[in-house]
Amino acid sequence: MQEYDLVVIGAGPGGTPVAMMSAKFGKRVLLIDKLGKAGGECLFEGCIPSKILENASNRYAMLKNASEFHIDLKSTPQIHWEEVIAEKERILKMRSESAMKQIDALATLDFVKGKATFKDAHTISVNDKDYSFKQAVIATGATASMPPLSGDGVAKAWTNADIFKQTKLPKEIAFIGAGAISCELVQMFAKLGVKCHILERGERILKRIDKNSALIVQKRMQEQGIDVILNVTFKEITGKEGNFTISYEQNGNTKELKVPNVLIATGREANVEGLGLENIDIEYDKHGIKTDKTMQTTQPHIYAIGDCAVGPKFAHWATYTAGIAVHNLFAPTKHEADISKLSWVLFSEPQIASVGLSQAEAVAKGIEVDVIKYDYAIDARAQIDHDTDGMLQFVIQKSDGVIIGIQIVSSDASSLSGEASLIVSQKMKAVDVMGAIHPHPTLNEAFGKLAQNYFFASMMRGRGGR
């Protein structure tokens, strides 16, 4: 039986860096992936393919709306969807092959394709072959969770994995659920001229996101002609591709929606089935594997990171926790993952970026906060860009004036999120942000202006100019 210092299960944005960093430390490492390719769902079925398609749709929409900037293109823009899909495949292949070359270059790192199962706390089986290990990291990710909906059409509906494989641009799609995945995709397809519906149980879209931010995106959806259907009680989904019927109740009325395509995006579930966790007494539930802040499971020599662990489901969180896990595997001291610094971007229109805590999250933790907002409607750069629907928001801890959360709504929120991450991670106050000189005219100016507004307002209130 081959013996390894470390076994890593999953070659995505969490598992791959763990395996490579450990091998560079001279450890004998076995990396296992069911696809036999590096990249994980983020690369093949998630954030990368969605952004390739989003990029194409945004540029197409810019051409269609060129007249807003007094540009006459004299012809109707066309998009060649099959070529967009081909470009997606080329980029995914290039990125995966590049990662595999880096893996192959490490002499102490072995890569195996297959499904891994723990036989005991120090033995793992892959393709009916057993390997022994001293330590392990589980980084198996997550997949789309199918809700308990009735009807024979549920199993035939698309998930995010299916939509990126369509070589022909659909004419009409109904999206079930108004979370992050649905909201990104529905606007992307609407900009391409696809007739889109989005159905949500709640009273608004993006129920887990700051309400002020979510309602700006919801308003834009309706302006784009997207059929936003809220307060829905689903009855059943019947039919098959080309002829689905969605039956639901809304405000006491029974309704039907007939569409050729349905995409279900109502959540994610950890990939833990078949790992044999029950054989090694590792605790887990439907949300994932339970870990402490060091990413250690209930087995001290086994760690879990990324989407398969209870906690945030982001590729960058997986990579961040990979670094935490590697340190804790081999260093004499322990590091803890700090979720208070977490940032994320929703690539909707406009984009939403968030760092740290929202107002609702702070209140839920019992933290007294001031919330101040800068409206991009008054901003020079936003006016020039015809992008005045957005805002910048600081969530400031009253006790010490530290900015513990920032939310940004703008078509360029992803670019602005870097400064927001630094502000929150470095526990800055308004006076610290004021110390930076922001160039004019840029959207970044809003950080300085908002900090200045709060600083002088707090001075007037006699709070020491925090």
Structural contact between residues 164 and 81, judged by C-beta atoms closer than 8 angstroms: no
Query: If you write DSSP's letter for every residue of 218-286 in order, what string do you get?
Result: HHHHHHTT-EEE-SEEEEEEEEETTEEEEEEEETTEEEEEEES-EEE---EEE--TTS-GGGTT--EET
Catalytic residue (choose from 197, 327, 438, 440): 440
Rounded to a whole number of angstroms, the CA Rg of the chain reads 24
Structural contact between residues 308 and 138, judged by C-beta atoms closer than 8 angstroms: yes
Residue 437 burial (C-beta neighbours within 10 Å; 0-12, 13-18, 19+): exposed
Structural contact between residues 378 and 319, judged by C-beta atoms closer than 8 angstroms: no
Fold classification of 160-266 is FAD/NAD(P)-binding domain (3.50.50)
Residue 350 preceded by cis peptide, ω within 30:
yes
Structural contact between residues 299 and 291, judged by C-beta atoms closer than 8 angstroms: no
Tokens of 349: 């229109």
Fold classification of 340-460 is Enolase-like; domain 1 (3.30.390)
| CATH class belonging to 2-144+269-337 | alpha beta
Tell me if residue 440 is catalytic: yes
Q: What is the pTM of this model?
A: 0.89
- CA 233 to chain centroid, in Å, comes to 26
Average pLDDT, whole number, for the chain?
92
Tokens of 422: 């630094």
* SS3 annotation, 39-54: CHHHHHCCHHHHHHHH
Say how far apart CA 345 and CA 414 lie, in whole Å.
6
Integer distance in angstroms from the first to the last C-alpha of the chain?
62
The neighbouring-strand residues paired with 135 are 6
466 pLDDT exceeds 60? no
* pLDDT tens-digit map of 205-216: 999 999 999 999
Work out the pLDDT band at 463, boundaries 50, 70, 90: low
| Better-predicted residue by pLDDT, 35 or 446 | 446
464 pLDDT exceeds 60? no
Pairing of strands 195-199, 172-176: parallel
Span 328-355, average pLDDT: 95
424 pLDDT exceeds 60? yes
* Residue 38 confidence (pLDDT): 80
Q: Which residues lie below 8 Å from residue 322, measured CB to CB, with a gap of 6+? A: 13, 14, 15, 17, 18, 21, 137, 139, 305, 306
Helices and strands (H and E) in the chain: how many: 13, 23
Query: Among 72-76, 78-82, 331-335, where is mean pLDDT lowest?
Result: 72-76
* pLDDT tens-digit map of 145-187: 878 889 999 999 998 888 888 889 999 999 999 999 999 999 9
Tally of residues, the chain: 466
276 pLDDT exceeds 70? yes
Q: Where does the chain hold its CATH 3.50.50.60 domain(s)?
A: 2-144+269-337, 160-266
Q: Where does the chain hold its CATH 3.30.390.30 domain(s)?
A: 340-460
* pLDDT tens-digit map of 43-58: 676 778 888 888 888 8
With both helix axes pointing from N to C terminus, report the angle between 81-104 and 15-24 in degrees, rounded to the nearest 10: 30
Say how far apart CA 463 and CA 466 lie, in whole Å.
7
Q: Which uninterrupted H or E stretch holds 131?
A: strand 129-138
* Portion of the chain with pLDDT greater than 70, in percent: 98
* pLDDT tens-digit map of 63-78: 888 788 888 887 778 8
Say how far apart CA 407 and CA 344 lie, in whole Å.
10
Say how far apart CA 140 and CA 8 lie, in whole Å.
9
Work out the pLDDT band at 353, boundaries 50, 70, 90: very high
